[in-house]
């Protein structure tokens, strides 16, 4: 019997701050569950024909947020998949409501110090450009944690390797299944 079949019935949406591993964990999770993987940031870039950095610089953050909202609404119409969202997506009330109605949402959470260390390895995030990552993340946590708290599940990742987080997520999903699900 296919023990992951019950986990493939709905899209699994990963939410949380920058650097927590939504894309890396999401890709591995999709692999493990044999589901397609979609990365909302990459889909926004494809739809706009430019990088997120260029979207912010040339069109501004509101245009990015609008594109993000539209792209996620479109992805949620697709058959079940693992969806890595950008850090700000679940903060938009419309997007959050849509994700909550069409997917199982999982908040990946880690200490801000861990995230700050990780995000310095990549310079493709316009919200961090020229700023102290820990300060940006602290301010985001303050504003965003209440919204992330509305996710169906929370997985505390600590500083664990991504494959460990994938196991935690699978366990959390199994625990979340209604009792008696095949």
x/- contact string, 29-68, with ligand S3P (CB under 6 A)? ------------x----------x----------------
CA 99 to chain centroid: 11
Residue with tokens 């909202």: 69
| 15 near ligand S3P, rule: CB under 6 A | no
Asked whether position 125 contacts ligand S3P by CB under 6 A, the answer is: yes
Using rule CB under 6 A, residue 26 touches ligand S3P = no
Q: Where are the beta strands (DSSP E) in the chain?
A: 11-15, 37-39, 82-84, 103-109, 153-156
Q: How many residues bind ligand S3P (CB under 6 A)?
A: 11
- Percent helix, strand, coil in the chain, to 5, is 55, 10, 30
14 phi and psi angles, rounded to 5 deg:
-95, 130
Alpha helices in 76-132 (DSSP H): 93-102, 112-119
Taking the complex as a whole, the smallest distance from the CB of residue 23 to ligand S3P amounts, in Å, to 6
Per-residue DSSP letter, 152: S
Buried-state track 42-52, b at ≥16 Cβ within 10 A, e below 16: ebbbeebeeeb
**Applying CB under 6 A, does 126 fall inside the site for ligand S3P?**
yes
Q: Identify which of residues 6 and 53 has a Cβ nearer to ligand S3P in the complex.
A: 53
Which one of residues 88, 102, 108, 133 is an interface residue with ligand S3P (CB under 6 A)?
Answer: 88
Rule CB under 6 A: choose which of 21, 26, 67, 86 binds ligand S3P: 86
Rule CB under 6 A: say whether 87 interacts with ligand S3P: yes
Task: Give the shortest CB-21-to-ligand S3P separation in angstroms.
Answer: 9
Q: Write the burial class of residue 100 (CB in 10 Å: 0-12 exposed, 13-18 middle, 19+ buried).
A: middle
The interface region with ligand S3P, picked from 3-11, 24-32, 83-91, 159-167 by CB under 6 A, is 83-91
Nearest residue (CB) to ligand S3P, 8 versus 65: 65
- Positions that interact with ligand S3P (CB under 6 A): 18, 22-23, 41, 52, 86-88, 125-127
């Amino acid at each position: 019997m296919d023990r992951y079949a019950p986990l493939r019935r709905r899209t699994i949406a990963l939410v949380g701050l920058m650097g927590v591993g939504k894309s890396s964990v999401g890709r591995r999770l999709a692999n493990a569950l044999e589901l397609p993987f979609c990365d909302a940031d990459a889909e926004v870039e494809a739809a706009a024909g430019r990088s997120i950095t260029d979207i912010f610089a040339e069109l501004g953050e509101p245009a990015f947020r609008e594109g993000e909202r539209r792209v996620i609404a479109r992805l949620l119409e697709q058959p079940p998949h693992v969806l890595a969202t950008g850090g700000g997506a679940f903060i938009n009330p419309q997007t959050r409501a849509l994700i909550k109605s069409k997917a199982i949402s999982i908040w990946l959470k880690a200490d801000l110090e861990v995230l700050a260390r990780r995000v310095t390895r990549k310079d493709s995030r316009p919200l961090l450009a020229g700023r102290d990552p820990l300060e940006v993340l602290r301010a985001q946590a303050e504003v965003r944690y209440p919204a992330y708290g509305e996710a169906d599940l929370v997985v505390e990742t600590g500083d664990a390797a991504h494959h460990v987080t994938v196991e935690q997520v699978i366990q959390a999903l199994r625990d979340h299944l209604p009792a008696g699900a095949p």
